[in-house]
Structure 1
């Protein structure tokens, strides 16, 4: 991850200069999908773990659909970033370039969502809705392309993410009350498998996509008001030329809210660290509303802890002083085996950011002006 420059006015901290991308050695490529359309791939790469992206950036052909289909903004971000993260195991970032989906167009995505969910006639009673939940919220496409000898780029792989509901919300009539039905993960997985099979078959009917490998992953959404996102639960690879899904590989990921009863039960030590951190913050600002932590776990191991501190400030000096205080707490209280991000916010903007990569000796700090 690119380092963030430091702007902290405090004697105990050093200023750190952010790195500037060097884009002088850019590759100019021809995109096969458009007549004589020139694309540029900057030589600079944020890290070996990040994909290079073709410029000018081409938005998804289904741009905006995800915001209409998934209610929780956190789920949107986690689904997009998580699908790209899981794609790295299939499409090497050192070899392939990333593009947003260019094949599943807006009207096609909406039609697929309609076709793959149960059809319920208007005027049906509550029992009919309960027995026929809409499982599928969204279909997300990501593309991976490779530079050819003639400086063109060619699609070599596709990832598809299917957003599936954990809670089904419905109305039996317009203006009536909303009802909520929990969807067990086992039931969601069963339906997700059938939906994924149909999506693959539809993709194979599209021109030029018959022989493209497809990585497909199932994402379990959180309820709309959740302060933490959901997570991917399973993935599979479909070889080029195949339209059949075999077995699924289970994904052991979860986002855990701290403090919470679930966090205390599953990850007691991490829960206590966040709770104690909040108690220390309260000594500086007794009237603050409390910290909110999101722990991201893979196979039960904490990978990243994101903490949000909402506080009202009355001057930049307060921001600097509180950020310095929080920086000290980070050094004293948090082990360094996971990524740590602390966002200090007022009611209308981000005030400062403290970030530390796993294994780093000290955090990086940025105060926004």
Structure 2
């Protein structure tokens, strides 16, 4: 079991803008011991966020996800969503977060290749039509495996040990492939088919994890993530999760996860969440009435069990001076107060072609939004 000695620091964090000032904390190394002496900040951004052991350790498989998952939005949602679901198992008040330290890049690439169909030999000498048929019958389901570690303090010596692990398995909803001289082609993968394959992959994975030194008795949460296609303006979402007790190498029952990211305005948004679609559309219409440079808005709603949790809206517009930015932001602020309910988080970004000009943000339940204009 990996151990890290911790120096608990009680230094107050000075707040500037929205971020803590860490300048008063020192990272110490103990030359007389092979163990690392690290810092755990005495404050955290909120009780909903994990404290992290410093110096920060990047993942042993750093960068693999960017090679394996085509849509940048899926990368962000998978990383953040896995941490969000981990909070239900590993309480941020009791655990520290650390990026995955056990699954290396080589190991991940080996598993991804091994657990996806190997069809190269079958394609040799075939024409494009036959190659296409083989690809469609043998889609590559698995894109990536994401590891996150959760640590707890042990004993009077302030050691921390790995006490929990979360694993996200990224699975394709669309398989893209080429034949020898044609393509790209796209093969849709149904939810039931994806879940069947995801369960098989998860079982292979837990058996492999239990063979790694230090992971035999660690509780592991495994969550299945369904990717969107690589051109989608919204990310995919987690669809199922399960908890594997320490010492077990068997996947039990899966708990369904009812989450989705919806684009506004869109036909899907109008069909599933008509009221939210109308509010976003009317918000855009009001802006268009007063600002001729406006070209349209891009809204993204995040839903859990059919309830809106967060709405993010981007307003791309060209400005000719900072006064115009301020005036536009004030106008958008007044519309937010009039049009949007306060039961969900709301984030509105006013952007030009190369940067964010202003930000309007409101936490669920807050009386009024916060505005920041970038200089």
Q: Which has the higher contact order (CA 8 A, sep 6+)?
A: 1
Q: Does 1:106 align with 2:112?
A: no
- Is the 1:231–1:255 Cα contact (8 Å) retained in structure 2? yes
Q: What is the aligned partner in structure 2 of residue 177 from structure 1?
A: 183
State the SS of the aligned residue for 2:20.
coil
- Please report how far the alpha carbon of residue 287 of structure 1 lies from its aligned counterpart in structure 2 after TM superposition: 3.6
Q: What is the aligned partner in structure 2 of residue 159 from structure 1?
A: 166
State the SS of the aligned residue for 2:280.
helix
Q: What is the aligned partner in structure 2 of residue 294 from structure 1?
A: 300
Rounded Cα–Cα distance in structure 2 between residues aligned with 1:60 and 1:285? 46
Rounded Cα–Cα distance in structure 1 between residues aligned with 2:23 and 2:175? 51
- Is the 1:25–1:42 Cα contact (8 Å) retained in structure 2? no
State the SS of the aligned residue for 2:74.
helix
Judged with a 3 Å threshold, the aligned counterparts in structure 2 of structure 1 residues 367 and 25 are, in CA distance, closer, same or farther, namely: closer
Which aligned pairs between 1:1-369 and structure 2 lie closer than 5 A? 18=17, 21=20, 35-121=34-120, 122-123=123-124, 125-149=131-155, 150-173=157-180, 176-369=182-375
Per-residue Cα deviation, 1:177-225 (whole angstroms, up to 9, x for no partner): 2000110011000000000111111111101111100000000000101
State the SS of the aligned residue for 1:328.
helix
Judged with a 3 Å threshold, the aligned counterparts in structure 2 of structure 1 residues 30 and 207 are, in CA distance, closer, same or farther, namely: farther
Rounded Cα–Cα distance in structure 2 between residues aligned with 1:115 and 1:256? 34
Q: What is the aligned partner in structure 1 of residue 8 from structure 2?
A: none
- TM-score by structure 2 length? 0.90
Rounded Cα–Cα distance in structure 2 between residues aligned with 1:308 and 1:112? 38
- Please report how far the alpha carbon of residue 284 of structure 1 lies from its aligned counterpart in structure 2 after TM superposition: 2.4
Rounded Cα–Cα distance in structure 1 between residues aligned with 2:76 and 2:19? 26
Rounded Cα–Cα distance in structure 2 between residues aligned with 1:166 and 1:20? 37
- Is the 2:293–2:318 Cα contact (8 Å) retained in structure 1? no
- TM-score by structure 1 length? 0.91
- Please report how far the alpha carbon of residue 172 of structure 1 lies from its aligned counterpart in structure 2 after TM superposition: 1.4
Rounded Cα–Cα distance in structure 2 between residues aligned with 1:315 and 1:186? 53
Rounded Cα–Cα distance in structure 1 between residues aligned with 2:217 and 2:28? 23
Residue range with higher mean Cα deviation, 121-130 or 84-93: 121-130
Q: Which runs of 4+ in 1 moved over 6 A?
A: 24-31
Rounded Cα–Cα distance in structure 2 between residues aligned with 1:291 and 1:193? 39
State the SS of the aligned residue for 2:39.
strand
- Is the 1:25–1:43 Cα contact (8 Å) retained in structure 2? no
